[in-house]
Chain A
């Protein structure tokens, strides 16, 4: 950021006056700054000429104008400047004590004024102050533009994320499903999916993509599509994760990765076969509220190590068992005392009163996070996917 008046950028100042002696006087008194390249002066002799100059020459930074001039006076010029050059600021040269015109000029948007006879030290000071203001104004505009771009990007990422999440869950007498995602303010990369498989089986996936914003959202989209395809083709969760991992590794110089649990539930037997790809192990909540953490299968996050062989394990759900798959946005939620929610609080929430249904259990996880976090903004999405064996 350049913020000294001795900056290397030459400032171009348009001087507007019908009196012929101002031009040589200005050039003479400001010669030191002209030679140093601080200022450059261009001249116009009335308001019309000034407007023409402004519309032709976008490099002019500011205007220094007299009030009384033929064809178009300085006060009219002030009104017209925003039409041709909205970011230009003008300084008015007025007769000493002409408060009426000075007031009109200020009301019409003049940034400042100097009085005749012109004191050139005072003029230099006024010019520098005006240029400083213009610089800050332009910086503010550019910061605003960047924010708008960033906000648009976040909106796109957020829409991509919301659009891939299932919001209707197949109904069955044997089991119930519920999933929900509460996005972080800066848009994380969580997603979950429910995939209908042959023989009445159902595939359940929960995942967390590294990083935030559009890159994470794009990686999330491809992970989800790849998993869907692999889930339908493969014999089991481990094979599905291995296939997704190999494809994600093919062109991943950015080292993005996704942690994931993929599980296949068979309602006929109550068996849940699952594979972990570097993701937090799911929690099984029993009908009495006691909990069991599923054993990890020691998998690595997907996208990290090509040809990694994923393993699977299984767990037989009893009627009334509820499996809670969640992302670390739940256990790493932060409260006002800077404490993490942690697995123990999650387990205790269910031990105190057992879940009554899939949706109730999922909603309870989100409520637990929100009650714990209070007003503290969360860094990560909060996501959970719940399966409950009814019978």
Chain B
């Protein structure tokens, strides 16, 4: 699973694509890890190209969030389709990681 990433001033915007489930969640994890360096202070994970995420994929989001928070870096999610947004709401994950409408909003929120 290729993750499209761009970096601006210590903020990384990562855009995975397709389905994220138990068949590729490990790959999702290692790609995310590879995209981040220790000097990055914030990650925006955009779901604009993601169709579906299973619990295995959400676990990776959680692991990544924990890792970042441990070293005082920030994370925000954004641009989810309706069903992914619902999954994050039902599971209560939206109370753990902030979710924004757009990448721009997420970047602004993290910068504040």
Contact = CB atoms under 8 A, between A and B. Distances in A.
Contact of A211 (B55, B90, B91, B95): B55
Interface stretch (A66-74, A81-89, A254-262, A366-374): A254-262
A186 B58 CA distance: 18
Interface string A98-141: 00000000000000000000000000000000000000000000
B83 A301 contact: no
Interface string A186-219: 1001000000000000000000111111000000
Interface stretch (A2-10, A13-21, A44-52, A292-300): A292-300
Contacts of A279: 90-91
Interface stretch (B2-10, B59-67, B98-106): B59-67
A328 B66 CA distance: 25
B90 A300 contact: no
A27 interface: no
B59 A256 contact: yes
A186 B22 contact: yes
A304 B54 contact: no
A296 B93 contact: no
B90 A296 contact: yes
A365 B101 CA distance: 34
A255 B63 contact: yes
Contacts of A281: 90
B56 A304 contact: no
B1 interface: no
Contact of B56 (A210, A328, A340): A210
B63 A301 contact: no
Contacts of B22: 186, 211-213, 379
A255 B54 contact: no
Interface string B20-38: 0111010000000000000
Nearest to B25: A211
Contacts of A305: 95-96
B55 A208 contact: yes
Given A255-B66, A328-B87, 13 more contacts: A210-B56, A211-B55, A212-B56, A257-B59, A259-B90, A277-B92, A278-B92, A278-B93, A280-B90, A300-B93, A304-B62, A304-B92, A379-B22
Interface of B: 21-23, 25, 52, 54-56, 58-59, 62-63, 66, 83, 87, 90-93, 95-96
22 contacts: A210-B58, A210-B59, A211-B22, A211-B55, A211-B59, A212-B22, A212-B56, A213-B22, A257-B91, A259-B90, A259-B91, A277-B92, A278-B90, A278-B91, A278-B92, A298-B92, A299-B92, A300-B93, A300-B95, A304-B92, A340-B83, A379-B54
